Amino acid sequence: MFLETSNPGFVSNVTSKLNSLISEDIEIVLATTDMGNAFEDDEVSNYHLSNLQFTFPAIAKTYNEDDTNSFANNYVKRFGVTPNKIAVRGFDLTMDVVLRLVNYDDLYASVNQAALTEYVENKFAYKKKLFGGFYNDTVYLVKYEDLRIKEIIQK
């Protein structure tokens, strides 16, 4: 089932009602194409979203502290806290640009030669705009599972 709204009260009501319908015989998966603030509002139960396997697209996957990750481990050693989304995004973007500059003669040519790159929480696949410039054309499909946000990996 898809839910598209910007009203947190509506999200709360719908998720509550759908959650009450779940049973051994009935499985309900809730999805949206626009993960806006309405789904993150305090009024909306994360338990309901998790029970409904709430699924949505995200530009970055959530770093899992259980994962072994040298950037995150070094960050914790140096600063005493886990890196936030901005720090991880900065690392991923810097790593992408530096590796493209080192491995390819031309940064623009690297877009065609290294079609997709992926790092800690972000992946990059640049596409050329019609009237100049480039944009990142990647997205992760994620879902709530056991009160955590997990990437849906296609096999």
Our CA angle for 43, 44, 45, nearest 5°, is 120
Within a domain: residue 2?
A: no
What pLDDT does residue 66 have? 57
Within a domain: residue 65?
A: no
What pLDDT does residue 51 have? 95
**Structural domain range at position 33:** 8-59+140-151
The gap from C-alpha 150 to its chain's centroid, in whole angstroms, comes to: 8
Residues 130 and 84 in one domain: yes
**Gap between the Cα atoms of 118 and 93, Å rounded:** 10
Give Cβ neighbours of residue 79 (< 8 Å, ≥ 6 apart).
none
- Which amino acid belongs to residue 149? I
Ordered per-residue pLDDT tens for the chain, 155 residues: 999 999 999 999 999 999 999 999 999 999 999 888 999 999 999 999 999 999 999 888 876 665 667 888 899 899 999 888 899 999 999 999 999 899 888 888 888 887 788 888 899 988 888 888 888 888 889 999 998 888 888 76
Residues 83 and 132 in one domain: yes
Give yes or no for a contact between 8 and 37, defined as CB atoms under 8 angstroms apart: yes
Number of domains in the chain: 2
Within a domain: residue 42?
A: yes
pTM for this entry: 0.76
Within a domain: residue 49?
A: yes
Label residue 100 exposed, middle or buried (CB < 10 Å: 0-12, 13-18, 19+). Answer: buried
